[in-house]
A and B are shown apart, each in its own frame.
Chain A
Amino acid sequence: MQEEGPGEMPSALEGVLVLDLGQGIAGPFCAKLLADFGADVIKVEPPGGEAGRSMGPFFHDDPHPEKSLFFLLLNLNKRGITLDLGTATGAHVFKELVTKADVVVENGPPGHLASFGLGYEDLAQVNPGIIVTSITPFGQNGPHSRFKGEEIVEYAMSGIMYFSGSTDREPLKHGGFQAQYDGGLNGAVATAFALLLRDLTGQGEHVDVSLQEAVSSTLVLNQPYYSWNGGVQGRRTPGELLWRNIMPCKDGHFIAQDGGGASWDDIADFFGRPEMKDPKFSVPDSRLRHGKELDQIVLEAAKDRTRHEMFRTACEQYRILFGIVQSPEDLANCPQLAYRRFYQEVDHPVIGRIKVPNKIIAMSETPCRYRAPAPLLGEHNQEVYTGLLGYRKEEVVRLRKLNVI
């Protein structure tokens, strides 16, 4: 196991209070990243729970609001309260919370909070230092800002889908919810810089994160290419060279790449095929021309070898740039991820003990720290309303009777 610092390490976001109005993936992930590094994050959910609680998969496939695996994953380390922002009383209570807070994270449609009188301007009036981080598909302004987003729509309009997949088929979306995770991380980045700037100016900011722009930012080959010579990259032609792409082996798939620390001779030795040292393969331009022949040699050499044996041998002995297609099961059992303390054992009051992916970054002085499982719906109502806001218990009961919490 990698060393973990002594127990009493400081936190980078010590003393920062965050109100997390996020729902689904992007907003909650942003707030989780702030919580990981020491911010006190209070998740503010509508009385019926946020959308993430109804997102599958669920623990043991039981669609119980406390058993969404997305919710479990993205809400570690937070406290949770309920509050109906759509009511005048709820909006009033929220403003009281904002007077105590440093950051509000939200990922509703642009104008949604303002329609409750809780837009950035409204909140800045009660707390000029407040940072409101809004994560949306297309940002707060511009002709497409009111468009409805979805993972595939954000992917399509980012430009990345056009060259993903094969020319004889439709453009191919990447699996999963990459745009949402990208947006969550960028929300945390922008929030951290807004906090730095606030140290200098005392002023808060309306932080405006666009998922489409986050995904587009990855097009560092494709976007400038057009601006340099007008060229537009497309998808792969079917039947194109397999070398440097996903190739089958005995028990799955691998991918190898020339370049890096290994010579072509090393690669030939790794595959145990001296005929690969022939100049028709060893010279890069010629290699492309004899691609089909090269593919046959490599496929034959790999067909009786396993992924993990090839991976270890290629990396350790030959220093070849080499990857294997790993499944979620492989990742769950990966010794390197265990070494990096990627997983956290969580003791959840409804789910029980479970291993959850958690730590993505190692910082030496202010490490990512686990404090608590995802909150149950309204779990910290009493603590927050009486503790932080100083309400009397009867007042909290009244809010409950009014269905505000």
Chain B
Amino acid sequence: MNRLPLEGVRAVESSYVYAMPLAASLLTDLGAEVIKVEGLSRIDTTRGGFYGGATPDNVPGPDPWNRTSTYQQLNRGKKSLVLDLRRDEGRRVLKDLIKVSDIYIENFTPRVLRGWGMDYPNLVKIKPDLIMVSNTGYGHGEGPYSQWPAQATTMEATHGHCYVTGYRGGVPSKVGQSFVDFLSCWAALYTIALALRHRRRTGKGQWIDLSMYQMGAYWVSDYVLDWIANRRLPERIGDRHPWRAPQGCYPCAGTDQWCAISVGGDGEWSALCRVMGRPDLVDDSRFATGPGRLEHHDALDQIISEWTKGLDKLKVMELLQAAGVPAGPVFDARDVNANPHSWARGFLQKVAFPEEWHMGKRVFMGLPWRFGQEPFQIVGPAPGLGQDNHTILRQLLGYPEAEVRGLEEERIIGTVPAEPPAVPKLTLEDEVRLGRLAYYDSDYKERLGI
């Protein structure tokens, strides 16, 4: 690609955890310059603890807060500026920075920026064409839940996903890793593109008010509409499909190896029978029609499991896909990182760390879409805390050296967190024993070629 869509666009981001940090990172893939702002007393949550994920090779290094796997994946390609926003001097610098930027992304609870006089109505006075993205749990305003605290892990229950997820006949189930954060991330990208287009045509900026709850609820809106129209509440059906049958997750050779298979019409059904070496089943009247297969789903599950349990999960995929039956193995993290398809498409990319970090290369996920054949390239790893303090303040904002030194002495800026986050001391064996990991590969670097 000769040009990137966001060349010449600068974004400032002061946000935490998943949704907005990731959105800002993806902007760097698209050509934007992105400056992440954190305080020494309020560093991003993903720099340590559970949300931080792993330290490289389980070695914390001198600055573990810069090296955790989740922080790195969510902040790749950015610059880092430290500012203590609880103090006037810190907020003054942020305002100066916003004046020379196009986009400001934040996820404070609504009252924080209002308290600082830095909500959109105030910021637009100093930067009239500012595009500002605010991401909160329930959205800004005076709604009944607007001021309530929220995080994706509890919100997935509230926005309806847990109700529709669960083993057949079982209780509601959590849906995993902060699912709704990513909906907000993508919504931020979409609205930023729309707002830039509008600004290009009219010169006007605007405020984007994202509510994770509202996004999450839309993802189950077909069920909500079924309630509104038909007063029907869904049953939890596990891995089955409301109308396709058989569908499920079938055990394959090895420990905890599975392949998902989904059969819809009669053509796919007879193809499955042929591949399983059971042409006799095509003539079995119980299974001859879609409704019949739904009714006798348990029997079909047993038949299919008998066939899959001796086969490699990839083999099941290949045999069925070749016959035109939707099938795919349940990939674990090793499979995801090794998937030849993702490498061929450039979804996975190896990113080199600076020599002095002694981290070599690591595998990052790029954008889930591309223009033509060319994937967008990841710019580089995430920055060390405050690594760009001086360049941004001196060169971009034109502060005199003495002023920057003053900010440093006042601890408005710096490079070492006030309280470095605790480094998990568990070995990988411990993590397996505690059930936090299923297993680990000590040869993962060879496997990944890093």
Stretch from B99-107, B329-337, B386-394, B404-412 contacting the other chain: B329-337
Within 8 A of A (CB), among B291-341: 317, 321, 324-337, 339-341
Give a binary string over B153-184; 1 marks a CB under 8 Å from any A CB, 0 the rest.
11111111111111100011111111101110
**Interface flag for B123 (CB, 8 Å):** no
Contact (A336, B328) CB under 8 Å given A155-B260, A218-B177, A227-B337: no
Q: How far is the CA of A335 from the CA of B158 in the complex (A)?
A: 13
- Whether the Cβ atoms of A213 and B217 lie closer than 8 Å is no
User: A57 at interface (Cβ–Cβ under 8 A)?
Assistant: yes
Q: Mark A145-171, 1 if CB is under 8 A from B, else 0.
A: 101111111111111111111110111
Q: Cβ of A401: which chain B residues have Cβ within 8 Å of it?
A: none
* Mask of A163-192 contacts with B, CB within 8 angstroms, 1/0: 111110111111111100110011111101
**A 1-19 to B, binary, CB cutoff 8 A, 1 in contact else 0:** 0110000001011100000
From A2, A142, A175, A351, contact of B143 by CB (8 A) = A2
> In the complex, which residues of chain B have a beta carbon less than 8 angstroms from the beta carbon of A363?
191, 194-195, 206-209
Q: How many angstroms from the CA of A225 to the CA of B54 in the assembled complex?
A: 6
A72-B225, A210-B368, A357-B221 known; A170 vs B53 contact (CB < 8 Å)? no
The main secondary structure of chain B at its interface with chain A is mixed
A residues 314-372 near B (Cβ < 8 Å) are: 315-316, 319-332, 334-337, 339-340, 342, 351, 354-357, 359-366
Q: A340 with B186: in contact, given A148-B326, A176-B219 (CB under 8 Å)?
A: no
Q: Does A193 contact B (CB under 8 A)?
A: yes
Bound together, the chains give a CA A303 to CA B141 distance in angstroms of: 33
| Complex CA–CA separation, A169 to B330 (angstroms) | 13
Nearest-Cβ distance from residue B338 to partner chain A, whole angstroms = 9
B54, A231: Cβ atoms under 8 Å? yes
CB distance from B248 to the nearest CB of A (A): 7
**Interface: A253 (CB within 8 A):** yes
A199 within 8 A of B: yes
Q: Are A218 and B182 in contact (CB under 8 A)?
A: yes
List residues of B (1-53) whose CB comes within 8 Å of A's CBs: 2-7, 18, 22, 30, 51, 53
- With contacts A59-B229, A246-B172, A360-B187 known, is A197 near B5, CB below 8 A? yes
User: A157: which of B158, B247, B329 is its contact (CB, 8 Å)?
Assistant: B329
The interface residues of chain B lying within 8 Å CB-to-CB of A164 are: 173, 175-176
Q: How distant is B188 from chain A, measured CB to nearest CB, in Å?
A: 9
Distance between Cα atoms of A10 and B324 in the complex (Å):
47
Q: Are the CB atoms of B222 and A73 closer together than 8 Å?
A: yes
For the complex, give the distance between the alpha carbons of A237 and B431 in Å. 13
- Per the bound structure, the CA–CA distance linking A178 and B175 in Å amounts to 11
Q: Which among B157, B218, B367 is the interface contact of A255 at CB below 8 angstroms?
A: B157
Do residues B150 and A152 form an inter-chain contact, with CB atoms below 8 A?
no
Q: How far is the CA of A145 from the CA of B255 in the complex (A)?
A: 28
A-side interface mostly: mixed
A328 near B336 (CB under 8 angstroms)?
A: no
Beta-carbon contact of B177 and A321 below 8 Å: no
B372 at the interface (CB under 8 A from A): yes
1/0 per position for B246-280, CB-CB distance to A under 8 A? 01110100001011101010000000000000000
B128 located at the interface, meaning its Cβ lies under 8 Å from any Cβ of chain A in the complex: no
- Establish whether residues A217 and B182, one from each chain, have CB atoms under 8 Å apart when the complex forms: yes
What 0/1 readout, one digit per residue, does chain A (118-151) give for beta carbons within 8 Å of chain B? 0000000000000000000011011111011111
Query: Is the beta-carbon distance between A335 and B69 smaller than 8 angstroms?
Result: no
**Residues B186-221 near A (CB distance < 8 A):** 186-187, 189-191, 193-198, 200-202, 204-211, 213-215, 217-221
B194 touching A37, Cβ below 8 Å: yes
* B198 close to A365 (CB less than 8 A): yes
Q: Which residues from A are CB-within-8-Å of B444?
A: 226-227, 229-230
Instruction: Answer whether residue B224 sits at the interface, using C-beta atoms and an 8 A cutoff.
Output: yes
Shortest CB distance A70–B (Å): 6
A98, B6: Cα distance in complex, Å: 27
Kindly state whether residue A256 has any CB partner on chain B within 8 Å: yes
Distance in angstroms between the alpha carbons of A210 and B369 in the assembled complex: 6
B438 interfacial by beta-carbon distance below 8 Å: yes
The answer to whether A170 touches B249 (Cβ under 8 A) is yes
Closest Cβ of chain B to A111, distance in Å, is: 15
Contact of A223 among B189, B324, B336 (CB under 8 A): B336
Given A185-B186, A232-B439, A326-B159; A159-B341 close (CB under 8 Å)? no
Q: Does B437 contact A (CB under 8 A)?
A: yes
Select A214's contact among B72, B215, B368, B372, beta carbons within 8 Å. Answer: B368
Q: Is the CB of B222 within 8 A of A174?
A: no
> Contacting chain B: which of A200-208, A273-281, A380-388, A391-399?
A200-208
B395 contacts chain A at the CB level, 8 A cutoff: no
Q: Are B167 and A200 in contact (CB under 8 A)?
A: no
Residue in chain B with minimal CB distance to A15: B201
**Does B90 reach chain A (CB closer than 8 Å)?**
no
Across the two chains, which residue of chain B brings its CB closest to A178? B219
**Contact assessment for B260 and A152 in the assembled complex, using a CB-CB cutoff below 8 Å:** yes
> Taking CB as reference atom, which chain B residue is nearest A257?
B154
| Known interface pairs A225-B69, A366-B194; A174-B176 also in contact (CB < 8 Å) | yes
| B418 at the A interface (CB under 8 A) | no
Q: A149-B326, A257-B153 are in contact. List 4 more A-B contacts (CB 8 A).
A: A150-B247, A156-B260, A185-B186, A342-B214
Per CB-CB distance, the 7 closest pairs between chain A and chain B, nearest first, are A234-B438, A175-B164, A230-B444, A339-B143, A323-B154, A192-B193, A213-B368
Q: What are 5 A-B pairs with beta-carbon distances under 8 A?
A: A171-B258, A172-B167, A185-B183, A232-B334, A246-B171
